């Protein structure tokens, strides 16, 4: 469940906008912000983590928020972001395109490119929910995902409807007497949210002009190699050399196949192993299995190697 991070009514009117700008920058994403309602700004922010995925629900009055190249150079968390508009009309300038978003629409973007969000409100505040996930968390070809940045999803998209309902349920304030999510619940819900986002993006990719054409020979070979890796993740000897040998090709051939993915063969193997470990660690049905056993199951026979790789990928140890 989301926790209250900011409630403007708790502060004197003259302090609200500066406090909002500072806290929202720390809790969500650093931007340059101004407002013609700064003298009596009203806003709320609730945020919470679902494993490595963060969900932030916000209400706010008229403002302009700019993610600039200078801010990106200074600090970029490298996050994919999905915005759900829940109230008001909002305009985002992304790569020289102006996107007007209304109630129920979704926008896929990231922290690594400049954008400007412009919100105009009357007496009723605008509201939105922002989902943020580390780039490496999305089990999708990096080039395909990056090619979909700036995609607006209409309210009637069937997969978008499922994702929006899930986000709404997670972001809804808890009623009296409702038991909060446990850490295990949150981790599992984060996996569900990531899978729904991946399903939405895959659908958007497949609907692009020309995307229905049969996959090229290169893409087919890549899928075959990825399927082989998936079947052998538990083999501690799985390596780029083993992949090449199994497919009777030179060591350079798989590396060339994986260039568009943004990860080398070894990086892909490690990422898929870590994702399997993360899912098992979040599964209550496997709570009696030790961290060491889960790591060994997915190709990490040495606990020190597993701990180091897991912390590098997710920012915490597998036992946390």
pLDDT above 70 as % of the chain: 95
Residues 65 and 158 in one domain: yes
pLDDT of 280 strictly over 50: yes
pLDDT of 211 strictly over 60: no
Mean pLDDT over the full length of the chain: 89
Q: What is the CATH number of the domain that holds 304?
A: 1.10.10.60
Residues 69 and 136 in one domain: yes
* Number of domains the chain contains: 2
State which of 145, 172, 199 marks the end of a domain.
172
Residues 71 and 150 in one domain: yes
Q: Is residue 202 part of a domain?
A: no
Residues 19 and 127 in one domain: yes
Mean pLDDT value of segment 189-199: 89
pLDDT of 168 strictly over 90: yes
Model pLDDT, residue 155? 93
Mean pLDDT value of segment 300-314: 90
Q: Is residue 206 part of a domain?
A: no
pLDDT of 175 strictly over 70: no
pLDDT of 210 strictly over 70: no
| Most confident region among 76-85, 141-150, 199-208, 305-314 by mean pLDDT | 76-85
| Most confident region among 93-97, 104-108, 191-195 by mean pLDDT | 104-108
Which among 161, 98, 168 is positioned nearest to 129, based on CA atoms? 168
Q: What is the CATH number of the domain that holds 112?
A: 2.60.120.10
Within the chain, residue ranges assigned H as helices are 13-27, 69-74, 142-147, 158-171, 183-206, 217-231, 240-246, 252-257, 265-281, 291-297, 303-314
Compare 23 and 173 and report the one with higher pLDDT.
23
Residues 85 and 156 in one domain: yes
Q: Is residue 205 part of a domain?
A: no
Model pLDDT, residue 13? 94
Q: Is residue 106 part of a domain?
A: yes
Q: Is residue 24 part of a domain?
A: yes
In the beta sheet, which residues pair with residue 92?
Answer: 99, 117
Residues 38 and 164 in one domain: yes
Model pLDDT, residue 214? 43
Q: Show the domain range for 99.
A: 3-172
Which tens digits make up the pLDDT trace of 29-81? Answer: 999 999 999 998 999 999 998 888 999 999 999 999 999 999 999 999 999 99
What one-character-per-residue DSSP string does 257-282 give? HTGGGTS-HHHHHHHHHHHHHHHHHT
Residues 35 and 168 in one domain: yes
Model pLDDT, residue 213? 47
Residues 31 and 168 in one domain: yes
Which among 174, 192, 168 is positioned nearest to 282, based on CA atoms? 192
Model pLDDT, residue 262? 74
């Amino acid at each position: 469940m989301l926790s209250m991070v900011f409630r403007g009514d708790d502060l004197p009117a003259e302090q609200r906008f500066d406090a909002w700008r500072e806290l929202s920058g720390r809790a969500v994403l650093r931007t340059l912000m101004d407002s013609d309602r700064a003298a009596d700004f009203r806003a709320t922010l609730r945020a919470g983590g679902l494993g490595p995925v963060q969900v932030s629900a916000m209400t706010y009055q008229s403002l302009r928020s700019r993610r600039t190249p200078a801010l990106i150079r200074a600090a970029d968390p490298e996050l994919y972001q999905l915005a759900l508009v829940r109230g008001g009309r909002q305009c985002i300038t992304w790569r020289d395109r102006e996107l007007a978003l209304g109630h129920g629409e979704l926008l896929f973007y990231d922290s690594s490119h400049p954008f400007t969000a412009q919100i105009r409100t009357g007496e009723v505040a605008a509201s939105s929910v922002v989902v943020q996930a580390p780039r490496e968390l999305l089990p999708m070809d990096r080039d395909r995902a990056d090619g979909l940045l700036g995609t607006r999803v209409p309210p009637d998209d069937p997969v978008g409807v499922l994702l929006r309902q899930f986000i709404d349920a997670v972001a809804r304030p808890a009623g009296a007497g409702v038991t909060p999510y446990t850490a295990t619940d949150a981790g599992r819900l984060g996996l569900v949210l990531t899978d729904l986002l991946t399903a939405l993006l895959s659908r958007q990719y497949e609907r692009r002009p020309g995307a229905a054409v049969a996959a090229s020979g290169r893409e087919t070979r890549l899928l075959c190699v990825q399927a082989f890796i998936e079947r052998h993740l538990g083999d501690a000897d799985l390596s780029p050399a083993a992949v090449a040998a199994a497919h009777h090709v030179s060591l350079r051939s798989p590396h060339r196949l994986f260039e568009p993915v943004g990860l080398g063969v070894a990086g892909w193997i490690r990422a898929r192993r870590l994702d399997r470990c993360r899912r098992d660690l979040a599964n209550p049905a496997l709570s009696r299995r030790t961290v060491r056993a889960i790591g060994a199951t997915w190709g990490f026979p040495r606990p020190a190697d597993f701990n180091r790789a897991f912390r590098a990928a997710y920012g915490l140890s597998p036992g946390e």
